[in-house]
């Protein structure tokens, strides 16, 4: 598994983004608010497409917003391999939005630790929903 974050992994389509926020589920692991939607895996598609956003109201300076987005991207990029393996085993595609809800810039170590919790919770959410459908 390569530790890259390519253009194909970014969620750019306005239609897909609207669908994600309209039909997706969400949870909060501070400092992230996660909106996600599982869909069947398309042929030759990447398992995850994501979008990262930081509030302009809380962080007026673009430099600060970009620094936070960069830290989120880096934390995701280094830990995504377990999630990718899980999704490929279950033939799923995940649309994902990371919204930063923190009030100030945090150190990178906190971003990294919380991203691990987020990715674990995403796997658990699917497992719980899938088990609920079987009952």
* Residue written as token pair 């598994």: 1
Structure tokens at 57: 């109201």
Query: Concatenated DSSP letters for 101-131?
Result: --SS---HHHHHHHHHHHHHHHHHHHHHHHH
Residue 8 above 50 pLDDT? Answer: yes
Structure tokens at 54: 């930081």
Where in the chain are the domains?
A: 7-134
pTM assigned to the model: 0.90
Cα distance between residue 51 and residue 19, in whole Å: 13
Q: Determine whether domain 7-134 maps to CATH 1.10.3720.10.
A: no
- Mind listing the pLDDT tens digit for each residue in 19-39? 999 999 999 999 999 999 999
């Amino acid at each position: 598994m390569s530790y890259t974050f390519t253009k194909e992994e970014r969620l750019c389509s306005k239609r897909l983004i609207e669908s994600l926020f309209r039909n997706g589920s969400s949870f909060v692991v501070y400092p992230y608010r996660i909106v996600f939607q599982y869909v069947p895996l398309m042929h030759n598609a990447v398992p995850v497409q994501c979008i990262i956003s930081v509030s302009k109201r809380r962080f007026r300076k673009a430099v600060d917003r970009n620094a936070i987005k960069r830290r989120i991207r880096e934390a995701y990029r280094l830990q995504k391999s377990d999630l990718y393996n899980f999704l490929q085993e279950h033939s799923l595609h995940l649309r994902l939005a990371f919204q930063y809800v923190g009030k100030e810039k945090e150190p990178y170590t906190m971003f990294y630790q919380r991203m691990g919790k987020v990715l674990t919770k995403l796997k658990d959410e699917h497992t719980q929903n899938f088990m609920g459908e079987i009952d």
